[in-house]
C-alpha cells in the first residue's frame, strides 16, 4: 500500500523556470545513478546526447498537469531501468520515445545520431503512439501492428509498458472519460501483456490503478481496510515467520523471508469469486522465501524449504502449485503452497531462488540476462514465433484478432502431455481440438476425437493441467462452422477459417459458372464492377459469398430483371428495400456524436431513445456510459459491467458520455441477495424495513432456509443508487443479516 500511495503522489506544478531546470537535472542524475552498473565506454555520452535532444525537442511542451513534458520521458526511462531492468539502448529510446510523433525531430535525425538499432525501436514506439493513443476506432487493427513490432524487438513493448505505467500513475490530471478509456485499455490489454512478459509488479500496479478509476468506491473501501489492519497483519506475519526462520538458519540457508500484502484488485477478485466480505478473504498477504543458491541446486533447495514449512504448518494439498517442474511460458518459476497458520488462518507461501525472483520481478529483461541458449529458457521465443504465425493470417478481422490474442496469448496456461511425454502449453479453456491443431494443422483438420488419460472423449472436451492426450484422426473428416465455437487458440481458429474458406471456394465454382451464363444471356460481362453490384444488391460481403449462395441454391439471380445493361455494366433500375430497412433508421455515428456529447436521462430522456443493458441493469446514480450498437441504437452500460472494459478499450469510437438527471417519478427494477441466520421474524423485519419504513415497492421475493441459514432473493423498484445504498446500510444493521449483495435481474 505504501509504495502504491507513493507512486500516486503528483509532482509539484508551481515551480519557477529556474526550479524546473534544477528539477530536470536532478531527475536526469538520478537516472544516471540507477543506470551506472550497465554503462560501458561511450554509453554515458550517448545517454547525454539523447537527454539533451529530448529536452530541446520538448522545451515548449507541458503535460495536462502543468509540469514540463520532459518529466514524462525521464520517468519512463527510470521505470525501464529500475523496474523492468532494461539497459542503455532502451534508456535512450525511452528518453526519445515521443520526439518523432510530437516534435520536429525525424527518424533520419535519430538514425544519424544513434544508428539503426535505436531508430528501429523508436519507429515501433511511434507507430504504437500514433495508432493506439490517438485513434481509438483503429485500436484493434493497430494492436496487430504493435505485435508485429514486438516480435521483431520485444524492447518496444517493454518501453511501451513503462510509458503506460507512468501515464496510469499520473492519470489524476485527466478528464473523467479519458481516465475510463485509458484504464479500460490498460486492464484489457496492457496489464495482461505485462503479466505475459513476466512483469508481475507492473501488472499488479496497473490493475490497482485502473480499479481506482473504474471502481473508485470499492477501491477506497479495500485500501482503507488494508491500512486499518496493517499493524495486525505485520504482527501475524512475524509470528508465522519466526519458526520458519529458525529452521532455515539451522539448515544453513542463505535466504530472505518476508510478507507482502495482496493487491487491492486481487483481493476484490477473490471477494467476488468466493462471494465473501473483505474480512473473510483468508490470504490477504503472501509469505515469500527467496533462497540464494547455485542454479544446479535450486530445485532441491526450494523443495527442502517446502518440507520445512509443511513440517510446521499443515498444507492444503489442492493448493500446491509446482512451477519448478513446469515453468510458465513467461519464464515464471516458483513453488506456491497454502498452509494453515496460527489462529486458524490460511497463509500462501511462495518459494523461489534468487534467480527465479529476478525473473519474476523483471520478466523478459531478466530472462535475457540468464538465457544460455536452448532448452526451457527459449519459451519466450516460442511464444513470439506463435504470435508471428497468427499475425500472418491477413483475413482475420481486427476485433476478432484482439479477442484471439487475449484468449490465446494473454490468458493463464495449462500444460498437457503428448503420448510420448512432451509438454505442450495451452491457454486455460483449451479443448482436445486446440491440442490437435497445436501439433499440426493437418492433424487438427482430420481430428474426430481424442483419448485423454487413455479414455475416449469428444474433441470438444476441455483439458486440464496434467492431461495426456492422443489425437484420433480420419481422412474423411473436414472442419465445419461449429468447430469455431469449440476452440480458444488463435492458431486453431485461423486454420478452421482457412479450411472453411477453401471448401467454400470449391463449392462456389458451380455458382461462378452459373453467374457467368446468366450475365452473358442479358449482354453483361462478368467484371469486378458487375459482381460488386450484385453482391451489394444481395447484401453479401464478396463475390465469393455470392457464388457460394448461388451454388447452394439460396439465390437464383431472378432479380437480374431489376437491372439494366449500359455498355457492359449493370445498373439497378429501382431499389428494392428489404423489410428490415423500412423500420426507423438509427442516427448515424456522426449525428449521435454531435447531438449527444452529454446525454441527460430522466426528465430529458425524450431527447434520444436508449435501452438499459441486460448484462448489468444500470439504475440512476450508477456510473454509466452509452454504447452505440449497430443493431439496437444506444445501450447504457454500467462502468463496472462485465463487458465494459472490452467495449471501452476496443470500440472507443462508439462510446458516448452519459449522466443521469434526478427524476423521482421513474423506478428501476433491481435485485438483492440477502443471507443470514434463519431466526423467527427475520423475513418480517426485512419486508417491514423495505416496504414500511423506506416505502420501496417489492416486485417479488423468494426465500430458502436450510440448516439454520436463509437465502433471500428480492426484486424491487428503486428510483436511484442513493436509495439502494441507503437500503443496503439499513439491511446490514438488522440483527442476523450476514451479507447483502446487488444482482442484475432478468426482466
Confidence category of residue 363, pLDDT binned at 50, 70, 90: confident
Q: Structural domain boundaries of the chain?
A: 2-214, 224-370, 379-497, 498-576, 582-660, 668-743
Give 527 or 577, the one with higher predicted confidence.
527
CB proximity list for 143: less than 8 A, separation 6 or greater: 132, 189, 398, 401, 402, 405
The closest of 546, 498, 482, 488 to 518, measured between CA atoms, is 546
CA distance 555 to 182: 47
User: In this predicted model, what pLDDT tens digit does every residue of 230-260 receive, in sequence order?
Assistant: 888 888 889 999 999 999 999 999 999 998 8
Q: Are 223 and 264 in contact (CB under 8 A)?
A: yes
CA distance 743 to 747: 13
User: In this predicted model, what pLDDT tens digit does every residue of 653-670 receive, in sequence order?
Assistant: 677 777 776 666 677 888
Q: What are the b/e assignments for 633-650, b being 16+ CB within 10 Å?
A: bbbbbbbebeebbbbbbb
Q: Give the mean model confidence (pLDDT) for residues 379-397.
A: 58
Q: What is the pTM of this model?
A: 0.65
pLDDT of residue 301: 93
pLDDT of residue 279: 74
| C-alpha cell at position 311 | 513440517
Q: What is the DSSP letter of 188?
A: I
pLDDT of residue 152: 63
User: In this predicted model, what pLDDT tens digit does every residue of 396-405 receive, in sequence order?
Assistant: 555 555 555 6
Among 264-268, 271-275, 621-625, where is mean pLDDT lowest?
271-275
CA distance 669 to 686: 18
Count of Cβ atoms closer than 10 Å to residue 315 Cβ: 15
Give the residue carrying C-alpha cell 555520452.
Answer: 45
Confidence category of residue 300, pLDDT binned at 50, 70, 90: very high
- Roughly how many angstroms between the first and final C-alpha of the chain, as a whole number? 42
pLDDT at 545 over 70: yes
CATH superfamily entry for domain 668-743: ACT domain (3.30.70.260)
φ, ψ dihedrals at 619, nearest 5°: -130, 160
Query: How far is residue 1 from each of residues 7, 346, 362, measured CA to CA in Å?
Result: 10, 21, 20
CB proximity list for 715: less than 8 A, separation 6 or greater: 669, 670, 671, 698, 699, 700, 701, 745
From the number of C-beta atoms within 10 Å of its C-beta (0-12, 13-18, 19+), residue 148 rates as middle
Q: Give the mean model confidence (pLDDT) for residues 664-692.
A: 82
Confidence category of residue 381, pLDDT binned at 50, 70, 90: low
φ, ψ dihedrals at 573, nearest 5°: -75, -50
CA distance 116 to 121: 9
| C-alpha cell at position 297 | 541446486
Catalytic residue among 7, 43, 102, 361: 102
pLDDT of residue 246: 92
Q: Give the mean model confidence (pLDDT) for residues 65-88.
A: 89
The closest of 188, 135, 144 to 646, measured between CA atoms, is 188
Give 342 or 587, the one with higher predicted confidence.
342
pLDDT of residue 372: 41
The closest of 349, 467, 357, 342 to 414, measured between CA atoms, is 467
Q: Are 486 and 460 in contact (CB under 8 A)?
A: yes
Catalytic residue among 20, 82, 101, 498: 101
Confidence category of residue 583, pLDDT binned at 50, 70, 90: very low
User: In this predicted model, what pLDDT tens digit does every residue of 423-470 receive, in sequence order?
Assistant: 787 888 899 999 999 888 899 999 988 999 888 989 899 998 878 899
Among 208-212, 340-344, 590-594, where is mean pLDDT lowest?
590-594
Helix then strand then coil, in percent of the chain rounded to 5, is: 55, 15, 30
CA distance 679 to 733: 15
Confidence category of residue 382, pLDDT binned at 50, 70, 90: low
Confidence category of residue 368, pLDDT binned at 50, 70, 90: low
In sequence order, what DSSP letters do the residues of 51-96 get, joined into one string?
HHHHHHHTTT-B-TTSSBTTHHHHHHHHIIIIII---HHHHHHHHT
pLDDT of residue 3: 36
CA distance 410 to 404: 9
pLDDT of residue 360: 81
Put residue 123 in one of left, alpha, beta given phi > 0 → left and psi -120 to 50 → alpha.
alpha
User: In this predicted model, what pLDDT tens digit does every residue of 98-119 receive, in sequence order?
Assistant: 888 888 888 888 888 888 888 8
Average pLDDT along the chain: 79
pLDDT of residue 607: 53
Helices (H) and strands (E) in the chain, counts: 31, 22
224-370 topology per CATH: Beta Polymerase; domain 2 (3.30.460)
Q: Indicate the length of the chain as a whole number.
A: 747
The 3-state DSSP class for residue 535 equals: helix
Q: Quick check: is 102 catalytic?
A: yes
Share above pLDDT 70 across residues of the chain, in percent, rounded to a whole number: 80
The 3-state secondary structure of 368-428 reads HHHCCCCHHHHHHHHHHHHHHHHHCCCCCCHHHHHHHHHHHHCCCEEEEECCCCCEEEEEC
The closest of 303, 316, 390 to 346, measured between CA atoms, is 316
Give the residue carrying C-alpha cell 495508432.
Answer: 131
pLDDT at 53 over 60: yes
CATH superfamily entry for domain 2-214: Hypothetical protein af1432 (1.10.3210.10)
pLDDT of residue 591: 43
Confidence category of residue 5, pLDDT binned at 50, 70, 90: very low
379-497 topology per CATH: Ubiquitin-like (UB roll) (3.10.20)
The 3-state DSSP class for residue 507 equals: helix
Amino acid at each position: 500500500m505504501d509504495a502504491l500511495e507513493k507512486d500516486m503522489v503528483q509532482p509539484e506544478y508551481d515551480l519557477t523556470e529556474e526550479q524546473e531546470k534544477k528539477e530536470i537535472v536532478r531527475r536526469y542524475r538520478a537516472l544516471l545513478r540507477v543506470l551506472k552498473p550497465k554503462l560501458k565506454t561511450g554509453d554515458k555520452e550517448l545517454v547525454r546526447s539523447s537527454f539533451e535532444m529530448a529536452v530541446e525537442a520538448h522545451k515548449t511542451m507541458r503535460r495536462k498537469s502543468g509540469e514540463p513534458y520532459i518529466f514524462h520521458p525521464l520517468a519512463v526511462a527510470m521505470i525501464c531501468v529500475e523496474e523492468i531492468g532494461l539497459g542503455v539502448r532502451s534508456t535512450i529510446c525511452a528518453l526519445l520515445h515521443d520526439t518523432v510523433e510530437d516534435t520536429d525531430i525525424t527518424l533520419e535525425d535519430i538514425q544519424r545520431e544513434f544508428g539503426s538499432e535505436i531508430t528501429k525501436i523508436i519507429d515501433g514506439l511511434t507507430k504504437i503512439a500514433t495508432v493506439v493513443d490517438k485513434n481509438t476506432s483503429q485500436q484493434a487493427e493497430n494492436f496487430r501492428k504493435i505485435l508485429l513490432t514486438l516480435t521483431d524487438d520485444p524492447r518496444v513493448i517493454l518501453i511501451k509498458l513503462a510509458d503506460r505505467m507512468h501515464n496510469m500513475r499520473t492519470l489524476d490530471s485527466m478528464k473523467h472519460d479519458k481516465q475510463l478509456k485509458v484504464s479500460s485499455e490498460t486492464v484489457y490489454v496492457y496489464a495482461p501483456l505485462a503479466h505475459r512478459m513476466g512483469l508481475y509488479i507492473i501488472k499488479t500496479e496497473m490493475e490497482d490503478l485502473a480499479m481506482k478509476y473504474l471502481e473508485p468506491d470499492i477501491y477506497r473501501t479495500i485500501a482503507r481496510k488494508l491500512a486499518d489492519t496493517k499493524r495486525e497483519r505485520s504482527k501475524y506475519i512475524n509470528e508465522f515467520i519466526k519458526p520458519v526462520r529458525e529452521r532455515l538458519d539451522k539448515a544453513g540457508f542463505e535466504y530472505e523471508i518476508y510478507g507482502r500484502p495482496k493487491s487491492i484488485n486481487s483481493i476484490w477478485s477473490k471477494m467476488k469469486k468466493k462471494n465473501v466480505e473483505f474480512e473473510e478473504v483468508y490470504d490477504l498477504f503472501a509469505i515469500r522465501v527467496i533462497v540464494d543458491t547455485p542454479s544446479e541446486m535450486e530445485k532441491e533447495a526450494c523443495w527442502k524449504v517446502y518440507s520445512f514449512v509443511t513440517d510446521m504448518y499443515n498444507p492444503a494439498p489442492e493448493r500446491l502449485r509446482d512451477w519448478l517442474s513446469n515453468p510458465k511460458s513467461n519464464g515464471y518459476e516458483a513453488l506456491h503452497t497454502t498452509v494453515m497458520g496460527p489462529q486458524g488462518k490460511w497463509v500462501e507461501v511462495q518459494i523461489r531462488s534468487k534467480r527465479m525472483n529476478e525473473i519474476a520481478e523483471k520478466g523478459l529483461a531478466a530472462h535475457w540476462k540468464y538465457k544460455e541458449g536452448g532448452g526451457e529458457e527459449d519459451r519466450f521465443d516460442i511464444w513470439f514465433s506463435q504470435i508471428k504465425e497468427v499475425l500472418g493470417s491477413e483475413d482475420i478481422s481486427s476485433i476478432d484478432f484482439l479477442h484471439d490474442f487475449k484468449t490465446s496469448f494473454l490468458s493463464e496456461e495449462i500444460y498437457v502431455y503428448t503420448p510420448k511425454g512432451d509438454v505442450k502449453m495451452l491457454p486455460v479453456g483449451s479443448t482436445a481440438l486446440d491440442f490437435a491443431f497445436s501439433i499440426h494443422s493437418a492433424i487438427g483438420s482430420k481430428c474426430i476425437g481424442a483419448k485423454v488419460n487413455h479414455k475416449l472423449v469428444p474433441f470438444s472436451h476441455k483439458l486440464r493441467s496434467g492431461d495426456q492426450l492422443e489425437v484420433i484422426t480420419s481422412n474423411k473428416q473436414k472442419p465445419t462452422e461449429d468447430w469455431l465455437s469449440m476452440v480458444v487458440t488463435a492458431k486453431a481458429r485461423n486454420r478452421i477459417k482457412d479450411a472453411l474458406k477453401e471448401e467454400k471456394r470449391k463449392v462456389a465454382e458451380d455458382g461462378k459458372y452459373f453467374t457467368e451464363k446468366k450475365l452473358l444471356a442479358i449482354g453483361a460481362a462478368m467484371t469486378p464492377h458487375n459482381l460488386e453490384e450484385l453482391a451489394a444488391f444481395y447484401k453479401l460481403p464478396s463475390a465469393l459469398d455470392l457464388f457460394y449462395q448461388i451454388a447452394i441454391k439460396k439465390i437464383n439471380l431472378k432479380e437480374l430483371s431489376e437491372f439494366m445493361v449500359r455498355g457492359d455494366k449493370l445498373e439497378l433500375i429501382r431499389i428494392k428495400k428489404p423489410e428490415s430497412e423500412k423500420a426507423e433508421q438509427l442516427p448515424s455515428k456522426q449525428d449521435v456524436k454531435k447531438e449527444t456529447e452529454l446525454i441527460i436521462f430522466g426528465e430529458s430522456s425524450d431527447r434520444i431513445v436508449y435501452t438499459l443493458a441486460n448484462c448489468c441493469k444500470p439504475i440512476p446514480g450508477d456510473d454509466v456510459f452509452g454504447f452505440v450498437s449497430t443493431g439496437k441504437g444506444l445501450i447504457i452500460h454500467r462502468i463496472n459491467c462485465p463487458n465494459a472494459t472490452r467495449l471501452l478499450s476496443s470500440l472507443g469510437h462508439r462510446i458516448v458520455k452519459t449522466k443521469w438527471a434526478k427524476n423521482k417519478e421513474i423506478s428501476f427494477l433491481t435485485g438483492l441477495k440477502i443471507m443470514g441466520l434463519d431466526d423467527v421474524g427475520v423475513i418480517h423485519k426485512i419486508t417491514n424495513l423495505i416496504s414500511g419504513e423506506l416505502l420501496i415497492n417489492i416486485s417479488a421475493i423468494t426465500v430458502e432456509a436450510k440448516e439454520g441459514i436463509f437465502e433471500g432473493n428480492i426484486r424491487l423498484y428503486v428510483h436511484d443508487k442513493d436509495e439502494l445504498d441507503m437500503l443496503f446500510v439499513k439491511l446490514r444493521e438488522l440483527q442476523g443479516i450476514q451479507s447483502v449483495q446487488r444482482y442484475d435481474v432478468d426482466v
